[in-house]
Structure 1
Amino acid sequence: MKRCEVLIIGAGPTGLVLALWLSKLGVKVRIIDRTASPGTTSRALAVQARTLELYRQLDLTAAILEHGHRVPAANLWVKGQAAARLPFSTIGAEFTPYPFLHIFPQDEHEQLLIERLQAFGVEVERETELLGFNQDAQGVSAQLRRADGLEEHCEANYLAGCDGAHSTVRKVLGIGFPGGTYQQVFYVADVQASGPALNGELHVDLDDADFLAVFPLAGSGRARLIGTVRDERAEHPEQLRFEDVSQRAIEHLKVQVQQVNWFSTYRVHHRVAGHFSHRRGFLLGDAAHVHSPAGGQGMNTGIGDAINLAWKLASVLRGKAQASLLATYEIERSAFAQRLVSTTDQVFNFVTADGRLAALLRTRLTPRLIPRLVAFKSAREFLFRTVSQITLNYRYMPLSTGNAGQLQGGDRLPWVAEGGRDNFSGLNRMCWQVQVYGAVSASLVQWCSQRGIPVDVFIWSEAHEAAGLMRDAVYLIRPDSYIALAWSNAGAEVLQTYFEERGLNPS
């Protein structure tokens, strides 16, 4: 019987990131997957700015930036003409080191994660299926079927279901998955093409034709087309070929396809699990939430789930936190998933709705309204911050407390790079840490030093004030780099109380 501390079901990006984060934190994991090999095609493309920020803790960001494609802007088209352009680089330059949309296809993404996981001596166990599991106060006992057909038992402290929308883990836990299925059938095609929409930027058709988005890929003339199929063609999507989909939207975007490398169709659901955990079992990624591809949020949200849960599992397993810490995973991630599904629903329904009124809104009102909106700096910034996930926060939740300046406990720490010093550089550490902008008391530094908590002190500047930070305030940062506590002129006793009240040991 094999034993591990965390058994991970599913080796997509969510499961792989969870395994990698836990492995770096010294947790013994097993990761299994039913498939014989990693996927060679994928629908998920976008790596958002917040994911790139968090990936610095695993030294993954540079590799992804090197091998992917940086998208500087998004373009909206109506009636065969470009109607509005949203330049990411000028909008997000003040907020993140990564003010762009980065394209790195899921299959390549997974291969990178697998290679990094192998460096920790962990291999994905392929053609291995979860048959069921039981759990009690001591742990989880799982029944697995291996590639050779033999069955085995695996003992683990915790089990993580990263096994997709049809999750076996979710079914065994008896957790509901309410929601629905979009009427439209999606198609995705990897193509070699030419035309004005093949300029390395993102292009979206907002016409009364079928929805279509053109995502640039690395390499000249390569693109990923993601569109919808409606009317009688959608009745048997498994029989569709690229030649069968409507050419209206493709023609509106002036895309000339020379070669189709691969083509697939699928239906999209909008669902959120009733719970993200039950006792020692957890749901992450598509096992916990699925939604439309609007905004390129899906894969990034699953990765965020994994990062949120990883440090909490490691803390509990190493005796640095009470088991009650794990309850905050569902509290923090479920709230975000609910908001995300609602938002992507509204966007998707707008761009795909049938009817004369919907068409008028897209073709008449939107082309006039969007250029005027993006002319306002605040509107441009709101769009970028939302899509990039840098606005995601855990305010008013059990691990979040206090406020200082414009920041509250639960916020993402604002990025400031000034005088050759980047305040995100210390966030590469996977530990509790403190940042102070201005002066810090010797007693607080001593208290932190005794517990192995790094303290970074920055010389106060106008840039810090502009970012919303407060002079001399103390910002306690969680291992996943979110602000846990924000307090003006906090002393050691404030930090001591924070950890004691939550049953946490930062050392």
Structure 2
Amino acid sequence: MNDTEVLIIGAGPTGLVLALWLSRLGVKVRIVDKATGPGTTSRALAVQARTLELYRQLDLADTVVERGHQVPAANLWVRGQKAAKLSLQNIGAGMTPYPFLEIYPQDEHEKLLIERLQGFGVEVQWNTELLELSQDEEQAVARLRLPDGHEEDCRVPYLAGCDGARSAVRKALGIGFPGGTYQQVFYVADVQASGPALDGELHVDLDEADFVAVFPLAGTGRARLIGTVRDERAEHVENLTFEDVSSRAIEHMQLQVEQVNWFSTYRVHHRVAQQFRRHRAFLLGDAAHVHSPAGGQGMNTGIGDAINLAWKLASVLHGKATDELLDSFEIERKAFAERLVATTDQVFNFVSANGRVANLLRTRLAPVLLSRLMAMGKVRSFMFRTLSQIGLNYRLMPLSFGTAGHVHGGDRLPWAHDETADNFAELARPCWQVHVYGLAGKDLTGWCAARQIPLQVFAWSPAHEAAGLARNAFYLIRPDSYVALAEASSSTAALERYFTERSLRPC
């Protein structure tokens, strides 16, 4: 293991995706986890469109879509009746190749990631626990307890803590984790059932303050129930069974539960680590931020952390960037995590609020208002962009510069396609590249050729204008498919300045 360049602590989705991306970029990784093996139960379900877009770089997107389940609609229930039906069919049409809500349970997701990681010759080392962590100017040193009980010092240039909300890495670094804990106890159950709520759609019971949602899974009659427990039962969470918490869902949604495959209870925190980086160690996923499950953002945000950090680590380790590039990881991802925690807090507090007024707003006003809002194209687009994370941007941050058309440096490259070309096709390669929509000047063509930067030139079409791209402008795309530089002119001076000022080499 002496040639390991990045040690990853934690083999959940965040750690596995980081290991995959680094392996894809030629970085030697070691990934360990104190668990005995991959998870067999999970809470995370949604795989958002932005995650699927990025999964194209690992040839994962098609498999996830094929094995998962697309949710056509969300139903809101009040007093045992459907009060509203919100269509999700092609809700993101024209914005992404994945204009839908995809359900793919975390335990199945992890198995797929482990399988793909094995294709790079990397095996997760289970039963391996981090005991101590120290650092100097040259390396991080992790004291590990191996499966046989022996201890080992693993010395690596960089270490990534992907080890969850109770992160041993975060504690070893002495990084604070301010925030709080929701008073509600959550339960989650994987069931085989029948009834009107088992129709492949999402169903949410808005009655009273005990939130209950039925998420469809691939296969006939399979569903995931997620709910809250607010009364005196929550005081004895360790003794709760499915029978203790399922009566409301069964009564209100007329569920006939035939088999409970697994059941668990848990509490949810809303916290953001004070730092995402300390010297040669990084925090990602739940080790860095935890929040309400509202909107299915948690797992996807951790995966986003991993992809953001992976190409930066690879650039530094391959001598194409200085260590300063790694500072941008915290700048970009911490800002998003803080916004996400605030937003999910607001949504969850509305759904779970107590009191007569809150109950009236939730059961009377919300179904009517949401039905009307979802019928409006702009509202549907806004909601999809927000939940799918395709609206996430890094504007006004160190790696983002310029504007061309409606696209700013730091934006996700807009998807634009027609019968002749799809501008996302070339993004499968995780490298720096330049896009031009229209005509590329000789200077730009020569500059890219001299530096071996792929130049993609697309014949101008109405699809490009509709996506907000500017004709004949150029867009420098980062390896994670965000726009680094948007330049309306064809001058290569801006490109040269971009790389020089940030001490970056594109190849």
Are 1:83 and 2:83 counterparts?
A: yes
Q: Which residue of 2 aligns with 1:383?
A: 383
Contact 1:440 1:457 in 2 (8 A): yes
Q: Which residue of 1 aligns with 2:298?
A: 298
Q: Which residue of 1 aligns with 2:141?
A: 141
Q: Deviations over 1:91-138 (max 9, x none)?
A: 211101111111111111111111111111111111001111111111
Q: Which residue of 2 aligns with 1:358?
A: 358
Q: Which residue of 2 aligns with 1:369?
A: 369
Q: Which residue of 2 aligns with 1:252?
A: 252
Larger deviation: 363-372 or 98-107?
363-372
Q: Which residue of 2 aligns with 1:283?
A: 283
**Structure 1 residue 3, shift from structure 2 partner:** 4.2
Query: For 1:418, what is the secondary structure of its paired residue?
Result: coil
**Structure 1 residue 87, shift from structure 2 partner:** 2.3
**Structure 1 residue 491, shift from structure 2 partner:** 1.8
Q: Deviations over 1:225-264 (max 9, x none)?
A: 0000111100111111010115224422222212111111
Query: For 2:392, what is the secondary structure of its paired residue?
Result: coil
Contact 2:209 2:351 in 1 (8 A): no
Contact 1:229 1:246 in 2 (8 A): no
Aligned residue type for 1:339: R
Query: For 2:334, what is the secondary structure of its paired residue?
Result: helix
**Inter-CA distance 22–76: structure 2 relative to 1 (3 Å threshold):** same
Percent identity over the alignment?
A: 71
In 1: Cα distance, 2:250 partner to 2:207 partner: 11
Q: Which residue of 1 aligns with 2:315?
A: 315
Q: Which residue of 2 aligns with 1:171?
A: 171
**Structure 1 residue 421, shift from structure 2 partner:** 1.5
Q: Which residue of 2 aligns with 1:468?
A: 468
Q: Which residue of 1 aligns with 2:111?
A: 111
Contact 2:402 2:409 in 1 (8 A): yes
Contact 1:6 1:30 in 2 (8 A): yes
Aligned residue type for 2:322: Q
In 2: Cα distance, 1:236 partner to 1:105 partner: 28
Aligned residue type for 1:334: K
In 1: Cα distance, 2:308 partner to 2:242 partner: 39
Are 1:441 and 2:441 counterparts?
A: yes
Contact 1:9 1:162 in 2 (8 A): yes
Contact 1:188 1:263 in 2 (8 A): yes
In 2: Cα distance, 1:87 partner to 1:413 partner: 27
In the TM superposition, 1:45-444 aligns within 5 A as: 45-444=45-444
Q: Deviations over 1:400-452 (max 9, x none)?
A: 00001111000011111202411100000110001111011011111111111
Contact 2:73 2:89 in 1 (8 A): yes
In 1: Cα distance, 2:499 partner to 2:83 partner: 53
Query: For 1:372, what is the secondary structure of its paired residue?
Result: helix
**Structure 1 residue 72, shift from structure 2 partner:** 2.0
Aligned residue type for 1:128: T
In 2: Cα distance, 1:453 partner to 1:279 partner: 31
In 2: Cα distance, 1:364 partner to 1:419 partner: 45
Aligned residue type for 2:171: K
In 2: Cα distance, 1:251 partner to 1:433 partner: 56
**Structure 1 residue 485, shift from structure 2 partner:** 0.7
Q: Deviations over 1:338-358 (max 9, x none)?
A: 010111111111111111111
| TM-score (normalizing by structure 1) | 0.98
Say what the alpha-carbon RMSD is for the aligned residues: 1.1
In 2: Cα distance, 1:113 partner to 1:413 partner: 26
Q: Which runs of 5+ in 1 are unaligned?
A: none
Larger deviation: 103-112 or 64-73?
64-73
**Structure 1 residue 196, shift from structure 2 partner:** 1.8
Query: For 1:417, what is the secondary structure of its paired residue?
Result: coil
**Inter-CA distance 356–249: structure 2 relative to 1 (3 Å threshold):** farther
| TM-score (normalizing by structure 2) | 0.98
Query: For 1:453, what is the secondary structure of its paired residue?
Result: coil
In 1: Cα distance, 2:145 partner to 2:8 partner: 15
Query: For 1:236, what is the secondary structure of its paired residue?
Result: helix
**Structure 1 residue 505, shift from structure 2 partner:** 0.3
Q: Deviations over 1:55-109 (max 9, x none)?
A: 0000011111121111122222222222233322332111011111111111111
**Structure 1 residue 209, shift from structure 2 partner:** 4.8
In 1: Cα distance, 2:231 partner to 2:319 partner: 57
Query: For 2:186, what is the secondary structure of its paired residue?
Result: strand
Aligned residue type for 1:367: P
Query: For 2:114, what is the secondary structure of its paired residue?
Result: helix
**Structure 1 residue 298, shift from structure 2 partner:** 0.4
Q: Deviations over 1:178-232 (max 9, x none)?
A: 0001000000001111122111111111221510111101110100000001111
Contact 1:73 1:100 in 2 (8 A): no
Contact 2:191 2:262 in 1 (8 A): yes
Contact 1:212 1:250 in 2 (8 A): no
Q: Which residue of 1 aligns with 2:498?
A: 498
**Structure 1 residue 291, shift from structure 2 partner:** 0.6
In 1: Cα distance, 2:436 partner to 2:154 partner: 46
**Structure 1 residue 365, shift from structure 2 partner:** 1.4
Aligned residue type for 1:340: L
Aligned residue type for 1:332: E
Query: For 1:214, what is the secondary structure of its paired residue?
Result: strand
Question: May I ask how many residue pairs the two structures share in their alignment?
Answer: 507
